Structure 1
Amino acid sequence: MNNKITKSTIVNDAIKLYPKTIGVFNDFKIDSCCGGAVPIEEAAKRDKVDMVALLETLNKISAEG
């Protein structure tokens, strides 16, 4: 599977496609439980996270399988 994770990807969808990304969301302090039904861009703004760094890390992990 090689679907790129983008700022419009829903947090929970990224986790469903790539379960290992849960660790990334946790490391970046992104709420992936109650707040996981929003696009990554919205979650990053809400939680004051560097979206570029988050997306780079998520895509690195997702490429590993």
Structure 2
Amino acid sequence: MITKDMVINDVIKKYPKTITVFSNYKVDACCGGGFSIEKTVSASGIDLSALLAALNKVVQTNNK
């Protein structure tokens, strides 16, 4: 399960398909990739709950 405290680069490394979700939500996975999801998202006004739900959905879908 992906949580708000996880570092974006770590999530992408472990779950490569999440890069599409980060991209769709306009999350800066390059310059902001070294920070937690929560920290990066809070600076950009993205809905954290929706992003986490989408990330976890793509991870669960790919693991079935």
Common topology (TM > 0.5): yes
Q: TM-score, normalised by structure 1?
A: 0.90
Aligned to 2:55: 58
- Aligned identity (percent) is 47
1:27 matches 2:24: yes
1:7-62 alpha-carbon deviations (Å, 9 max, x no partner): 00101111011101001001111000111000010011011100000000000001
Other-structure match for 1:37: 34
Unaligned runs of 5+ in 1: none
Which one-letter code corresponds to 1:52 in the other structure? S
Distance in 2, matches of 1:56 and 1:8, equals: 14
Structure 2 unmatched runs, 5+: none
Runs of at least 4 residues of structure 1 off by over 4 A? Answer: none
Structure 1 vs Structure 2 CA RMSD: 0.7
TM, length-normalised to structure 2: 0.92
